[in-house]
A = this chain, B = another copy of it.
Amino acid sequence: MRRFVGLIYVSLASLTLMAAQSPNMSIPGFTKSDAQSEADWEAKFRAIPDPKIMIDTMKRLAARPHHVGSPYDKENSEWILSKYKEWGWDAHIETFNVLFPTPKERLVEMTEPTHFVAKLQEPPVPGDPTSSQQDEQLPTYNAYSIDGDVTAPLVYVNYGTPADYETLDREGISVKGAIVIARYGGSWRGIKPKVAAEHGAIGCLIYSDPRDDGYFQGDVFPKGAERPKDGVQRGSVMDMPLYPGDPLTPGVGATPDAKRLDIKDAPTITKIPVLPISYADAAPLLEALGGPVAPMPWRGALGFTYHIGPGPAKVHLKVKSNWDIKPVNDVIARLAGATEADQWIIRGNHYDGWVNGASDPISGQVSELEEARALGELYKQGWKPKRTIIYCAWDGEEPGLLGSTEWAEEHAAELHEHAVLYLNSDSNGRGYFGAEGSHTLESFINSVTRDINDPEKNISVWKRDQLARIAAARTPEEKDRARAQQNWDIGALGSGSDYTAYLDFLGVASANFGFGGEGGGGGVYHSIYDDYYWFSHFDDPTEEYGRALAQTAGTAMMRMADADLLPYNYNDLASTVKGYIGELQKLANDKRNEIREQNREIAEGVFTATSDPTKTFVPPPTESVPPHLNFAPLENAMDALTRAAEHYQRVAARAQENGGAAISGARLSAVNQDLLMTERSLLDPAGLPKRPWFKHQLYAPGFYTGYGVKTIPAVREAIEQKDWTLADQKIVAVGKTLENEAAAIEKAAAALESAMH
């Protein structure tokens, strides 16, 4: 197999286009001779990261609890800063002042039919030294739960998604005035209290069911990697699909003089009180529920029959927080670009944890730091990146992407002008490489992973992923596709880590990298057991995949920083968007057919005939059949986008066939500037319906999924929520955005074309 070649030669003064001759030496975006030099520097780079140093760094950073505002979080920021300086970077700390609630009172007790008080406490584990640092640990809680003190019958709502409430409707059960108990999973946690409140619940408990997160998955800690009975998943429940970051300063940096909302007006704080609990605490509550037996897919792995309620279990839930303003300290480090200093290649991960956070986030942070050390070393050896490289260690990711969002908001104008790429990593573990991101980066990411060695299998990371995709494919067609694809597909980005503001608010081409799938995964996620003892026993003890991540991400950073022509690929973008539009059309058709079928079944008496008279069953109501939507504006825009993408790639190909042409550095720089702005064209300044902060028209976290991505979200969510008028409007609006994108690509193509003459 032969891979597509980057096509363009750039020296400081001129650009020569030539056909690639040695596939081994070709790198997208580089001329052959520059590719040779780049490959040499990259090889030097990849030899530097040292797993032993990474282990030491993890021990250092995860030694004590280091949540926002804690002493050790502050110490870590200063230590990271000192390291960057030691490695030759231009580094500083930038501080924002954000709302960060911490628990003052927490109570969960069952008052009927028996009395039971939940422990709400994770016990230390013998042999695990940091698990006993109770003085410094944040208690188990969900940040940004409103204060409250409620007592009410309990209702089990499965994952607490909108679909689960439809099931409750069929069962004739309302949560109005009730406290709901939802299990983790099925959606991001913040969705659960949001949807519960929409349905009239007055409180929300979230627990880890051992089916999804505990002994059903494998042996529990400390015997194995999975969540023990008293383990609790902390986590934010702010309404991040509205906007992430400081709840009091949406859209602007939380600087001392920023205009702030009153806490009572902050829309991302929950409407009802919420607490997370362990399965040991949840079991007595769930076991005390009466009412109908929960539907089969709702049943977890606790050793009794799951019921829905409401009651007879009655619960008293009390949550009260200290609503303090706390500092978040972002460490920002730069290596200035030699010739294109105004084009920024940005790398980031957070360093704050809920507790010790060895896996989340330190496993990713140690790779990032090791990249920075290696790049610093190369720099000393004489390597100078064309573009400016910025490494960021974010504070306050856990409560709500605070550090990264505030920095993005504060520097929005500069980032708009300069940012080429934002590359994120969060947790990392043993296994397979995974990437999600802007689809203009798909070919680029594939090219990088072809050059990275998988430490377990001694084949390229690209190859191992390809073989895993072949193994995972279920149909012969999928198998064929997995084999034939020159570049495997990357997923789209939703939310859940610090790329969010860069992609969704600013329109910077972004990606998230990480390895995983073989290690312990999320077994102790957001608990006190996510510490070095756990990580070194169950996840990536040798840090060989930490090294692989440093090699992968560092190579990507160098390659993007040094490229002669920025290696975005618009054909990948166009074909992906085309797929999304097909999905939307299918979704609209499916919705129409489902409603028509359901109406028909109601009329036929299917629901009446198939209900068990000994059980309550409320048939669904007849709904009006959705209209056909006019997809032409999207389809026409799609044609324009495809034409523009093909035009751009054809310009390059034609130039390549011609064998070479001289382009001045200034004109090339202008073309690259046009290219980096193309992702901005995917924004709509008006943002998404009900959430103007989210401006990207291709990707967003779902309004009712929270982390899970919705692609072409304005249209998709309108269809999902059966708002046909909005869907028709948004088809027009997104069509306009895609036309803009096509125009931006045409502009870059024309500039490149004209520069070649």
In the complex the two chains form, is A457's CB within 8 Å of B608's CB?
Answer: yes
Known contacts A467-B604, A597-B476, A601-B471; is-contact A459 B609 (Cβ 8 Å):
yes
In the assembly, what is the distance between CA of A476 and CA of B210, in Å? 37
In the complex the two chains form, is A305's CB within 8 Å of B467's CB?
Answer: no
In the complex, what's the smallest C-beta–C-beta distance from A482 to chain B, in angstroms? 10
In the complex the two chains form, is B305's CB within 8 Å of A224's CB?
Answer: yes
Closest to A224 in B: B305
Pick the residue among B299, B431, B606, B613 that contacts A456 (CB under 8 A).
B613
In the assembly, what is the distance between CA of A210 and CA of B306, in Å? 13
Question: Interface code A178-197, partner B: CB below 8 Å = 1, 0 otherwise?
Answer: 00000000000000000000
In the complex the two chains form, is A218's CB within 8 Å of B605's CB?
Answer: no
In the complex the two chains form, is B470's CB within 8 Å of A293's CB?
Answer: no
Residues of B within 8 A of A299 (CB): 216
In the complex the two chains form, is B215's CB within 8 Å of A609's CB?
Answer: no
In the assembly, what is the distance between CA of A530 and CA of B607, in Å? 31
In the assembly, what is the distance between CA of A459 and CA of B220, in Å? 53
In the assembly, what is the distance between CA of A457 and CA of B612, in Å? 10
Closest to A229 in B: B303
Pick the residue among B216, B301, B304, B605 that contacts A467 (CB under 8 A).
B605
In the complex the two chains form, is A303's CB within 8 Å of B215's CB?
Answer: yes
In the complex the two chains form, is A468's CB within 8 Å of B305's CB?
Answer: no
In the complex the two chains form, is A604's CB within 8 Å of B303's CB?
Answer: no
In the assembly, what is the distance between CA of A215 and CA of B305, in Å? 5
Closest to A220 in B: B305
In the complex the two chains form, is B606's CB within 8 Å of A470's CB?
Answer: yes
In the assembly, what is the distance between CA of A217 and CA of B294, in Å? 10
The A458-511 residues at the B interface (CB cut-off 8 A) are 459, 463-464, 467-468, 470-471, 476, 479
Closest to A472 in B: B610
In the complex, what's the smallest C-beta–C-beta distance from A533 to chain B, in angstroms? 18
Most B CB atoms within 10 A — which of A215, A216, A459, A468?
Answer: A216
Residues of B within 8 A of A629 (CB): none
In the complex the two chains form, is B301's CB within 8 Å of A609's CB?
Answer: no
In the complex the two chains form, is A304's CB within 8 Å of B215's CB?
Answer: yes
In the assembly, what is the distance between CA of A301 and CA of B464, in Å? 35
In the assembly, what is the distance between CA of A611 and CA of B736, in Å? 47
In the assembly, what is the distance between CA of A304 and CA of B211, in Å? 10
Known contacts A518-B612, A608-B457; is-contact A305 B470 (Cβ 8 Å):
no
Number of copies of this protein chain within its complex: 2
Any B CB within 8 A of the CB of A614: yes
In the assembly, what is the distance between CA of A608 and CA of B467, in Å? 9
Known contacts A470-B604, A476-B593, A597-B479; is-contact A457 B609 (Cβ 8 Å):
yes
In the complex, what's the smallest C-beta–C-beta distance from A480 to chain B, in angstroms? 10
Closest to A217 in B: B305
Residues of B within 8 A of A479 (CB): 597
In the complex the two chains form, is A219's CB within 8 Å of B470's CB?
Answer: no
In the complex the two chains form, is A463's CB within 8 Å of B301's CB?
Answer: no
The A579-616 residues at the B interface (CB cut-off 8 A) are 593, 597, 601, 604-610, 612-614
Closest to A518 in B: B612
In the complex, what's the smallest C-beta–C-beta distance from A661 to chain B, in angstroms? 41
Question: Interface code A327-369, partner B: CB below 8 Å = 1, 0 otherwise?
Answer: 0000000000000000000000000000000000000000000
Closest to A483 in B: B604
In the complex, what's the smallest C-beta–C-beta distance from A589 to chain B, in angstroms? 11
Any B CB within 8 A of the CB of A302: yes
Known contacts A518-B612, A593-B476; is-contact A471 B606 (Cβ 8 Å):
yes
In the assembly, what is the distance between CA of A106 and CA of B85, in Å? 76
Residues of B within 8 A of A467 (CB): 604-606, 609-610
In the complex the two chains form, is B476's CB within 8 Å of A609's CB?
Answer: no
In the complex, what's the smallest C-beta–C-beta distance from A125 to chain B, in angstroms? 17
In the complex, what's the smallest C-beta–C-beta distance from A445 to chain B, in angstroms? 19
In the complex, what's the smallest C-beta–C-beta distance from A224 to chain B, in angstroms? 7
Residues of B within 8 A of A610 (CB): 464, 467-468, 471
Question: Interface code A316-331, partner B: CB below 8 Å = 1, 0 otherwise?
Answer: 0000000000000000
In the assembly, what is the distance between CA of A610 and CA of B482, in Å? 15
In the assembly, what is the distance between CA of A216 and CA of B306, in Å? 8
In the assembly, what is the distance between CA of A134 and CA of B115, in Å? 38
In the assembly, what is the distance between CA of A463 and CA of B610, in Å? 11
In the assembly, what is the distance between CA of A470 and CA of B597, in Å? 10
In the assembly, what is the distance between CA of A607 and CA of B518, in Å? 15
Closest to A463 in B: B609
Residues of B within 8 A of A305 (CB): 215-220, 224, 226
Pick the residue among B218, B302, B518 that contacts A303 (CB under 8 A).
B302
Residues of B within 8 A of A609 (CB): 457, 459, 463-464, 467-468
In the assembly, what is the distance between CA of A301 and CA of B470, in Å? 32
In the complex the two chains form, is A218's CB within 8 Å of B293's CB?
Answer: yes
In the complex, what's the smallest C-beta–C-beta distance from A279 to chain B, in angstroms? 10
The A657-712 residues at the B interface (CB cut-off 8 A) are none
In the complex the two chains form, is A293's CB within 8 Å of B219's CB?
Answer: yes
In the assembly, what is the distance between CA of A59 and CA of B463, in Å? 69
Q: Would you list the 3 A-B pairs with minimal beta carbon distance, nearest first?
A: A303-B303, A467-B609, A215-B305
12 pairs, CB–CB < 8 Å, chain A vs chain B: A216-B305, A218-B293, A224-B293, A224-B305, A467-B604, A467-B609, A468-B609, A471-B601, A471-B606, A471-B607, A476-B593, A518-B612
Apart from A301-B301, A467-B609, A476-B597, what 5 extra A-B contacts exist at CB < 8 Å?
Answer: A215-B305, A301-B303, A467-B610, A468-B609, A468-B610
